[in-house]
Amino acid sequence: MLEQKIRAPKNRGFYVRMKLLPSKHGRSSVPQLEKKNFFYRNCKWVLWLSLSLYFFSSYLISNHPNQNNKQPTSLSKTHFSSLASRALFESTTNNITQKQGLPFNDLKIFVYDLPAKYNTDWLKNERCSTHLFASEVAIHRALLTSEYLTVDPYEADFFFVPVYVSCNFSTVNGFPAIGHARSLIASAINLISTQYPFWDRSHGSDHVFVASHDFGSCFHTMEDVAISDGIPGFLKNSIVLQTFGVKQRHPCQEVENVVIPPYVWPESVLRTLEKSPVTGRRDIFAFFRGKMEVHPKNISGRFYSKRVRTMLWRKYNGDRRFFLQRHRFAGYQSEIVRSVFCLCPLGWAPWSPRLVESVALGCVPVIIADGIRLPFDDVVPWADISVNVAEKDVGKLAEILEHVAATNLSAIQKNLWDPRVPRALMFNDRVHEGDATWRVLSALANKRARSYRRSRVSSQ
């Protein structure tokens, strides 16, 4: 999480003190002595001047900024300064964007400077940068202060298009709606393609977007409509960072995509852990707080959560081992950090912010979502830190969890409490080694074959 600042030592000046030894020949040979003293005096000043110039030059070289390095875009220019979290002010010595040890040191990303109506205007609502869809904001912020940012688009491998779709969702009949997404993104693409040559030259194949809502790049909250609409034609050649992902073939992931975690505000996790450490007492066996409908077919006319949450409520509401709550509570993370198992059933989509919250607070996630593709599954050891339960086996959930508790719970917790695991799923305002944006950069580095600039260089 937030790491300790490292205070750099103050620079000190240099001086040379020299002393010449008297002649061993005594006073008898005065002319010879005067000749040698003249030589020693001149030698002393020449040596002193040479050493002084050496040390002064070394000082300038080590302290003068490298003129070849391009400075990152100013945050004040992007209107983020009033909303920056504590992570924004961390020492750069703890930041992976320092030059030493950069794992993708030749990766360059250009971030389009779009008009504020596409992104930062929406930050007037603070919820925009902290809710479960806020990875679109966090990634944008982190890239703008990253060593991988380039202000020269001609040297860029990828082009990031910062359109905040989930920030400004509206509601229809009480349900979130992002019907504006397609027209908003289409407008942004039209703008950049008229002002820059980079979209047209690659047909968008090296351009990156974020789709952090339910069904990702289909941009709809209801799966049947999302499937019917499909991925907008103008995005089909691009790279989409999306929270949605399933192992089976699905129309909403038939695009070059990277599955990213839903956003959890790091500040809220820090506040919870300050009061209750990960390794503290856990007096709740199985926990869930969230929407659980008694009658799963709600006013939308659809079965919510494929009836899974309804089954949980009906089966285990009276079971003392289960702490199930249907109503919102602002301090619910204090319940997660007290729990052994945290239930993560699907909602409208298979993914849930509970995946990240559970891992960050040391509660074993119990994933109930058939066929889900989990974020960064190539580096996060999901099989070793979670319990996966088939949707059809919800009725056997108590027996399954009791068996895990009696057999390999301690091993799972040991893996889960490795600090590298939660770090990989958390977004920060600056890129930190191993955090979620760092994992995004790693995924992009593996897709450099899509870079128009790279393909041109390799063909020459």
In order, the DSSP letters of 91-156 are -GGGSTTSSTT-TTTT--EEE----GGGTGGGGGSGGGGTSTTTHHHHHHHHHHTSTTB-S-GGG-
Q: What is the pLDDT of residue 299?
A: 63
DSSP code string of 202-244:
HTTTTEEEEE-STTGGG--SSHHHHHHH-S-GGGTTSEEEES-
Q: Is the pLDDT of residue 9 over 90?
A: no
Angstrom distance (rounded) from CA 70 to CA 111: 14
Q: What is the pLDDT of residue 46?
A: 52
pLDDT digits (tens, 9 = 90+) for 134-179: 999 999 999 999 999 999 999 999 999 999 998 877 665 555 678 8
Question: Of 262, 234, 444, which is closest to residue 360 (Cα–Cα)?
Answer: 262
Q: What is the pLDDT of residue 118?
A: 95
Q: Residues of 142-155 as b/e, b for ≥16 C-beta within 10 angstroms?
A: bbbbbbbbbeeeee
Q: What is the pLDDT of residue 135?
A: 97
Q: Is the pLDDT of residue 318 over 80?
A: yes
Structure tokens at 89: 């002010």
Angstrom distance (rounded) from CA 265 to CA 2: 13
Q: What is the mean pLDDT of residues 42-47?
A: 53
Q: What is the pLDDT of residue 175?
A: 55
Question: Of 142, 135, 152, which is closest to residue 68 (Cα–Cα)?
Answer: 152
Q: What is the pLDDT of residue 358?
A: 98
Q: What 3-state class would DSSP assign to 361?
A: coil
Angstrom distance (rounded) from CA 99 to CA 68: 13
Angstrom distance (rounded) from CA 238 to CA 224: 23
Q: What is the pLDDT of residue 103?
A: 75
Q: Is the pLDDT of residue 129 over 60?
A: yes
CB 221 within 8 A of CB 178: yes
Q: What is the pLDDT of residue 230?
A: 96
Q: Is the pLDDT of residue 292 over 70?
A: yes
Which position has the token pair 């020299």?
Answer: 18
CA distances in angstroms from 241 to 162, 211, 258, 432, listed in the order given: 12, 6, 5, 18
Structure tokens at 69: 């390095």
Q: Is the pLDDT of residue 42 over 90?
A: no
Angstrom distance (rounded) from CA 395 to CA 398: 8
Q: Is the pLDDT of residue 398 over 50?
A: yes
Report the range of poorest mean pLDDT among 104-108, 296-300, 421-425: 296-300
Q: What is the pLDDT of residue 262?
A: 97
Q: What is the mean pLDDT of residues 363-380?
A: 97
Give percent of the chain above pLDDT 70: 74
Q: Which residue has the higher pLDDT, 185 or 85?
A: 185
- Residue 125 — very low, low, confident or very high, per pLDDT cuts 50/70/90? confident
E strands in 313-362? 322-325, 339-345
Cα torsion angle, 289, 295, 301, 307, sign: positive
Angstrom distance (rounded) from CA 120 to CA 224: 31
The count of other CB atoms within 10 Å of the CB of residue 84 is: 14
Go through the domains of the chain in sequence order and give each one's CATH number.
Answer: 109-261+440-458 (no CATH), 266-426 (3.40.50)
Structure tokens at 312: 């949980």
Q: What is the pLDDT of residue 239?
A: 98
The count of other CB atoms within 10 Å of the CB of residue 259 is: 21
Q: What is the mean pLDDT of residues 100-127?
A: 86
Q: What's the predicted TM-score (pTM) here?
A: 0.77
Give percent of the chain above pLDDT 90: 67
Residues 6+ apart with CB under 8 A from 200: 193
Q: What is the pLDDT of residue 281?
A: 94
Q: What is the mean pLDDT of residues 16-40?
A: 41
